[in-house]
Amino acid sequence: MTPEMVGQEVRELHAFFVGWLTGALPASRTSFARFTAAMAPEFRIGHPDGTEEGLVTLTEKLRRAHGIRSTQRPAFEIAILSLQVRWIDQERALVAYIERQLLADRWTARRSLAAFRAAPKAPCGVLWTDLQECWIAS
């Protein structure tokens, strides 16, 4: 596992989110497979509001959210900033980054700490295992 692989995964998955949520990607299994192929079965996310959910619930919500931001003006955006690999070895990595989202003419920001494990068949060679997000002033 390399820092470049993990950084590429963070950026590509967030590009998928923009495409999926704006409807720029078709609502197909092939398109959605970009998300599922990058998630470990044990994946858990801690949201900024303190709630936590696993992959099954998150996948269901995301499938239903296709195109939800299609009419947003200005267009929905996600920017990944200050990506830092905090720890890495051959099998695992811990990465911190800031995610900014343009939502209805207002930028929001969250600090994210993500854990990955090596998986050669995953899109960028890594799987997301854990993600913790917290709101920060934008």
pLDDT of residue 75: 86
User: Would the pLDDT of 138 be above 80?
Assistant: no
- Which tokens sit at 129? 């295992």
CB-CB contact of 20 with 78 (8 Å): no
User: Would the pLDDT of 44 be above 90?
Assistant: yes
pLDDT of residue 115: 98
Per-residue pLDDT tens over the stretch 66-88: 999 988 778 899 999 999 999 99
User: Would the pLDDT of 105 be above 90?
Assistant: no
- 101, 105, 129, 102: which is closest to 115 by C-alpha? 129
pLDDT of residue 103: 84
pLDDT of residue 73: 77
